[in-house]
């Protein structure tokens, strides 16, 4: 992905540069050896890049990934300090549902499934995983199937 991102940035094709990057950001959570704190810092840098390019779907996806990486304690601390949630996940889910971009929907659903699993909410995790089997077919080749099946099969 890095060569594609670099080439597109050099050519000034910023939309494709955005997409080359955005689809590796969620994958950085699964397919790497860096500490979560380092992955979070790297993703913050990419949020600035996406913001400069202005694609609202990409920006929202990056904000969701950053939100996903926060612990429940960090989310609560942010709300205590600012009086507002650090990210409106319900609004994000509604927006991507209306936009009909299956790739962003799939990333959201896979990360939601993983979050439910890690929080110990196993029944909703199974339900989320069952619904995700059809979505995954539409995103074949984006490495989501392995993440989805890992968390789904852990519950069987």
pTM of the model: 0.73
Contact 114, 147 (CB under 8 A): yes
pLDDT, position 151: 77
Burial class (CB in 10 A: 0-12, 13-18, 19+), 28: middle
Average pLDDT, the chain: 77
pLDDT, position 28: 65
Q: What is the rounded radius of gyration, in angstroms, for the C-alpha atoms of the chain?
A: 16
> pLDDT digit string (tens) for 47-94?
887 788 788 888 888 888 888 887 767 777 777 676 666 788 899 999
Hey, what's the torsion of the CAs at 145, 151, 154, 156, to 10 degrees? -70
pLDDT, position 24: 58
| Position with higher pLDDT, 83 vs 117 | 117
pLDDT, position 95: 94
Mean local confidence (pLDDT), 128-147: 76
Contact 125, 153 (CB under 8 A): no
Written as six digits, the tokens of 105 are 């929907």
Contact 68, 113 (CB under 8 A): no
| Position with higher pLDDT, 43 vs 121 | 121
Residue 147: how many other CB atoms lie within 10 Å: 22
What is the separation of C-alpha 83 from the centre of its chain, rounded to a whole number of angstroms?
A: 24
pLDDT, position 139: 73
């Amino acid at each position: 992905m890095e060569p594609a991102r670099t080439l597109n940035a050099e050519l000034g094709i910023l939309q494709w540069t955005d997409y080359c990057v955005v689809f590796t950001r969620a994958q950085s959570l699964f397919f790497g050896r860096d500490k979560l704190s380092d992955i979070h810092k790297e993703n913050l840098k990419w949020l600035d890049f996406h913001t400069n390019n202005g694609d609202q779907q990409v920006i929202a996806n990056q904000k969701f990934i950053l939100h996903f990486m926060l612990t429940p304690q960090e989310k609560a601390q942010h709300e205590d300090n600012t009086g507002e949630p650090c990210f409106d996940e319900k609004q994000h889910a509604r927006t991507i549902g209306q936009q009909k971009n299956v790739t962003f929907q799939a990333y959201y659903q896979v990360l939601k499934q993983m979050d439910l699993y890690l929080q110990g909410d196993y029944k909703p995790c199974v339900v989320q995983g069952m619904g995700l089997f059809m979505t995954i077919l539409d995103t074949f080749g984006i490495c989501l199937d392995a993440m989805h099946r890992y968390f789904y099969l852990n519950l069987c």
